[in-house]
Chains A and B, each alone.
Chain A
Amino acid sequence: MRAYAIVVYLFLYVPIGIIVLFSFNAGRHASSFQGFSVKWYGKLLSNPFAMDALTTSLIVASTTAVLASLFGTMAALGLQGVHGRWRALYDAVIYIAIMVPGIVIGIATLIALVTVFNFANPVILALWPQAFGAAPKLNLGVGSLIAAHTLFTMALVIVIVRSRLAGMDRALIEASADLYAPPVRTFWQITMPQIFPAVLAGFLLSFTFSFDDFIIAFFVAGAETTLPVYVFSSIRRGVTPEINAIGTLVLTTSLVLLIVAQFLLHGRGTRRPRGASND
């Protein structure tokens, strides 16, 4: 039984280990390890295409994380007071946002936005005052990426924060109200400290998701390139040690963020949210 578990863990982690190991390979070939070197990382840092893609990915991921955790937390708080038919409808939409595969989200966003832009651009052109110079043209790019990523991650934040709210001690809020604290003060002094770990975990998960997403970006990035899209097209041109270096950096980034998120959600000394417990 234990031997089997060890084999499965090897199956899960050896491929990751190979990428990390070969990113430090002095040689070019994948067949043998020819000594330790960080030259592929140097190559990567001086590759303008990879650096552009990285910058785009960082901008998209951090904006997505901010928007998703802000709006998602607001919605989770607002949903506390919604019951009955509206609540069922809202829950269904959240479920759909999480369950519909990324590829369908990508396609749907692509054709909806392009259609809207095709209508809107002539209108903007007609209405734009000459004095302001050339009229702006709506196009796929960083904006559409952020909008599409925020959709899925916001649904995720709602689910995470809501499970924390459900596990929260109601008595404290009632006590605060009994002591004549205004609702805003109760929120900042009682509710917020209790849900904050969940909000932060939601923020980190949103960042990770957006940073790692390939399929949605593949459809809605327009002329922009994110890091995963860059990696995918590099792989099509052939496997190089540089991809291993990117892979190692990407995996390290998400591993660190995930471990922090995991600690925030289930760590010592914090209340375990009901329904989200994994222990």
Chain B
Amino acid sequence: MQSYSTRLFLLAPATVWFAAMLVLPLIVVFVFSFGERAAAGGYVPALTLAQYANLPARFTAFKNTMTLAPLGTLAALIVAYPLAYFLAVRASPKWRTILLVMVIVPFWTSILIRTYAWIFILGGRGIPNLLDMIGIEGVRLINTPLAVLVGIIYGYLPLMVFPIYVSLEKLDKRLLEASADLGARPWRSFLQVTLPLSLPGMATGCMLVFILLMGEFLIPAMLGGGKVFFVGNALVDLFLQSRNWAYGSAVATTLVVVMLVTVTLYMRLMSRGANQRDDVGIF
């Protein structure tokens, strides 16, 4: 058993770090959101709700985020589910681990470089050029909502596959045998047994992807070309270009609150639904 002083020594650096680099900065953002913009940019202390009242000025960014983030999450779910099912149920055990690692590894490599690849593919010399050759002309892909959606699916697919895989892999195969013995066709077994039991994994995946998408900057910045911008792009603009810290802080605080509400709803849903808990290690 550790002594009290040992424990203090072990926890001190991490505690100081969390306090100075996480808790304090988040408090600063919260406090600044009630302030005013200095004439030359920056922040002047004040106690006003003016910044929050002004949120509709960035309505488009919020609207884009709140439409494309759920849409992107749904699209990623639709693409990910069959793959997760294949990995958990159909793939041979010999290949399963390596296939799974191959899904996860891209997630841990540079999202910047991977998104850049799609500028290449969707840009004028990529797919539109190939379509041109077979006679379909004038297709524009880059800088459209569709390009952003493709980027989202590509970037976040691994994060969606993994939790669904975990819930499918844990599934008791005897339930499927029982269902078949009772005369259910495979499709019916899938809809009435497999799908409901993989709901927790789907919910976890959707929540992870949705949360990260709400703070997304790179994908819309690179594939949306300034036409499709998210709250993240508005934040970069507010802090690095117009230096409106107070208003930017209000936008950031709103974003974090929306995220916290989402997570809380998810936790409620999960604890009510079942006592099943998916401990998701992303790696």
Within 8 A of A (CB), among B1-56: 1-2, 6-11, 13-15, 17-18, 20-26, 28-29, 32, 43
Binding site of B, secondary structure by majority: helix, strand, loop or mixed?
helix
Within 8 A of A (CB), among B210-237: 211-212, 214-218, 222, 232, 235-236
Interface: B79 (CB within 8 A): yes
Interface: A124 (CB within 8 A): no
A240 to B249, CA, bound (A): 36
A104/B105 in contact, CB under 8 A = no
- B178, chain A: closest CB distance, angstroms: 23
Within 8 A of B (CB), among A222-241: 228, 231-232, 235, 239
B218/A278 in contact, CB under 8 A = no
- A17, chain B: closest CB distance, angstroms: 9
Within 8 A of A (CB), among B85-118: 85-87, 90-91, 96-97, 99-106, 108-114, 116-118
B113 surroundings in chain A (CB, below 8 A): 19, 231, 246-247, 250-251
A168 surroundings in chain B (CB, below 8 A): none
Given contacts A71-B13, A104-B215, contact A5 B86 (CB under 8 A): yes
B116/A235 in contact, CB under 8 A = yes
A77/B10 in contact, CB under 8 A = yes
B154 surroundings in chain A (CB, below 8 A): 11-12, 15
Within 8 A of A (CB), among B239-258: 239-240, 245, 248-249, 252, 255-256
B218 surroundings in chain A (CB, below 8 A): 214-215, 232
Interface: B146 (CB within 8 A): no
B181 surroundings in chain A (CB, below 8 A): none
Binding site of A, secondary structure by majority: helix, strand, loop or mixed?
helix
Given contacts A15-B118, A30-B126, A259-B105, contact A151 B10 (CB under 8 A): no
- B248, chain A: closest CB distance, angstroms: 7
Assuming A100-B259, A111-B43, A258-B109, what are 7 further A-B pairs, CB within 8 angstroms?
A15-B118, A15-B121, A74-B14, A111-B28, A115-B43, A251-B110, A261-B283
Which residues does B use to contact A, with CB under 8 Å? 1-2, 6-11, 13-15, 17-18, 20-26, 28-29, 32, 43, 79, 82-83, 85-87, 90-91, 96-97, 99-106, 108-114, 116-121, 123, 125-126, 129, 154, 157-158, 162, 166, 211-212, 214-218, 222, 232, 235-236, 239-240, 245, 248-249, 252, 255-256, 259, 263, 279, 281, 283
A-B residue pairs in contact (CB < 8 Å), sample of 5: A30-B120, A80-B2, A212-B112, A258-B105, A278-B281
